[in-house]
């Protein structure tokens, strides 16, 4: 899709100033493609160069992370924190520990986080961080030593009123615990609100573990309801088998769907009777084993190595693994297989070509910045509880999450209709979030 003439210069600047950062370029272009009608209607945004300002992070931090493994060998990793935009509140966004992490990855995720956080309606800005450290196969003590070294530098840049990290790929409750312990040790402050995703005994929130997966399903539930449908009886396929995927499967099953397949980096498991989510949790969260172990316990289930889960026919697809996992070719195959709804549980898991295929086929498509906002929304609820020294029940927290996701869906749907693109949740999400941030930036002056 061509860019609005007022976006072309800003996008050219992004390409020139951020060479080689393809994922960041992709995320920026997707937003700029949507907001052309906004720029034509509101010239004040162009006059104030909001697009150029919003595409440039307020602060980019890169640091060395030295640590020692159990054999006494020294390793050097690289740490990142991109504090992208604090117009609506303190920077908020997760930490990702994975070998693929580089500055461009973090900038793409941080840019998406600005708009995702704005859609929640909660007072949080956008940021992201992480490291190219791989926790897979490392002992608890090795992970602890890495996290302590990582936080020894990061602590000086964060705070409950400045920047509040959380978890992401490779950063779960274990890692958050080690990070928070080191922050408390260095600062001599029990500042609960400095990290979210904490364990329940030391300031964590109910539903935080489930939030991103549950929230994605809640958004898709609203999207289906707008078409007079529901999850009941739907055949669902999920990519990934981590935190987001597991709890998306759990909630989809609770709403009456049959989840038949999920994947890991080696292949996918197929169980036509419906996957046993409790067994998957045992395999992935407790035993930390590969999905290939699932058929050893469940008769009739098969593990298909070296293949992509999107070859399995489904009515609802929930990509919950990583970015750019659904190509145009795979999207075409999914449409032929009967897919009528897609909810992005991961960040930007569909390529631009795949997105075009879904939209042209009339598939109800929920972009990640809307559909997976449940995680950060619940993180903000955790911040509220920490600030008030309070603790909410699971039922109350889940009800709040569902209300937030229902509100995000309504904002996206109504905004798309307002700008003449009914049913286009990508345009609705981008425009609703952009105008909220842009208006706040105008109010704060040139800073």
Q: What is the CATH number of domain 211-371?
A: 3.40.50.720
Half-sphere exposure (Cβ direction) of 43: Cα atoms closer than 13 Å: 0
Considering 107, 128, 184, 284, which one is annotated as catalytic? 128
Which of 112, 157, 152, 103 is CA-nearest to residue 130? Answer: 103
* Residue 243 labelled as part of a binding site: yes
* Residue 182 labelled as part of a binding site: no
Count of C-beta atoms within a 10 Å radius of residue 288: 9
Count of C-beta atoms within a 10 Å radius of residue 19: 9
For 4, the 3-state DSSP assignment is coil
Q: Which residues pair with 268 in a beta bridge?
A: 263, 304
Which of 132, 115, 116 is CA-nearest to residue 55? Answer: 115
What is the C-alpha to C-alpha distance for residues 59 and 172, in angstroms, rounded to an integer?
25
* Residue 254 labelled as part of a binding site: no
- pTM more than 0.85: yes
Same fold across 59-189 and 211-371: yes
* Residue 167 labelled as part of a binding site: yes
* Residue 292 labelled as part of a binding site: no
* Residue 212 labelled as part of a binding site: yes
Catalytic site residue 128?
Answer: yes
Q: Taking the domains of the chain in order of start, what are their residue ranges?
A: 5-54, 59-189, 211-371
Write out the chain's pLDDT in tens, 447 residues.
678 777 888 899 999 999 999 999 999 999 999 999 999 899 999 999 999 999 999 999 999 999 999 999 999 999 999 999 999 999 999 999 999 999 999 999 999 999 999 999 999 999 999 999 999 999 999 999 999 999 999 999 999 999 999 999 899 999 999 999 999 999 999 999 999 999 999 999 999 999 999 999 999 999 999 999 999 999 999 999 999 999 999 999 999 999 999 999 999 999 999 999 999 999 998 888 999 999 999 999 999 999 999 999 999 999 999 889 999 999 999 999 999 999 999 999 999 999 999 999 999 999 999 999 999 999 999 999 999 999 999 999 999 999 999 999 999 999 999 999 999 999 999 999 999 999 999 999 999
CATH topology of domain 59-189: Rossmann fold (3.40.50)
DSSP states of 107-122: HHHHHHHHHHHHHHTS
């Amino acid at each position: 899709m061509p860019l609005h003439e007022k976006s072309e210069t800003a996008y050219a600047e992004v390409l020139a100033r951020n060479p080689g950062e393809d994922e960041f370029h992709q995320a920026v272009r997707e937003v700029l493609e949507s907001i052309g009608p906004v720029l034509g209607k509101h010239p004040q945004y162009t006059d104030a160069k909001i697009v150029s300002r919003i595409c440039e992070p307020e602060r980019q931090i890169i640091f060395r992370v030295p640590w020692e493994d159990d054999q006494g060998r020294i390793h050097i990793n690289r740490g990142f924190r991109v504090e992208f935009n604090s117009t609506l509140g303190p920077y908020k966004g997760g930490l990702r520990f994975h070998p693929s992490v580089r500055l461009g990855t973090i900038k793409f995720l941080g840019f998406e986080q600005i708009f995702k956080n704005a859609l929640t309606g909660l007072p949080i800005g956008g940021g992201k961080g992480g490291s190219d450290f791989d926790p897979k196969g490392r002992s608890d003590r090795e992970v602890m030593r890495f996290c302590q070294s990582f936080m020894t530098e990061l602590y000086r840049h964060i705070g409950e009123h400045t920047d509040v990290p959380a978890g992401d790929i490779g950063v779960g409750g274990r890692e958050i615990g080690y990070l928070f312990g080191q922050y408390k040790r260095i600062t001599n402050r029990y500042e609960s609100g400095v990290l979210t995703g904490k364990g329940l005994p030391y300031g964590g929130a109910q539903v935080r573990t489930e939030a991103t997966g549950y929230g994605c399903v809640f958004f898709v539930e609203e999207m289906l309801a707008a078409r007079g449908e529901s999850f009941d009886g739907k055949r669902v396929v999920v990519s990934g088998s981590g935190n987001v995927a597991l709890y998306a499967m759990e909630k989809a099953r609770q709403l009456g769907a049959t989840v038949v397949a999920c994947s890991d980096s080696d292949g996918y498991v197929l169980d036509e009777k419906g996957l046993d989510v409790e067994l998957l949790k045992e395999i992935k969260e407790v035993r930390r084993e590969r999905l290939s172990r699932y058929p050893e316990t469940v008769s009739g289930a098969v593990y298909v190595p070296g293949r992509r889960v999107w070859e399995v026919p489904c009515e609802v697809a929930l990509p919950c693994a990583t970015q750019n996992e659904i190509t145009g070719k795979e999207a075409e195959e999914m449409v032929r297989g009967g897919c009528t709804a897609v909810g992005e549980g991961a960040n930007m898991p569909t390529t631009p070509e795949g997105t075009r295929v879904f939209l042209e086929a009339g598939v109800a498509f929920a972009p990640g910045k809307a559909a997976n906002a449940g995680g950060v929304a619940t993180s903000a609820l955790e911040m509220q509880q920490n600030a008030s020294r309070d603790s909410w029940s699971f039922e109350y927290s889940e009800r709040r999450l569902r209300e937030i996701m229902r509100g995000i869906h309504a904002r996206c749907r109504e905004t798309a209709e307002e700008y003449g693109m009914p049913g286009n949740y990508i345009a609705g999400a981008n425009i609703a979030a952009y105008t909220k941030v842009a208006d706040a930036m105008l109010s704060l002056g040139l800073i």
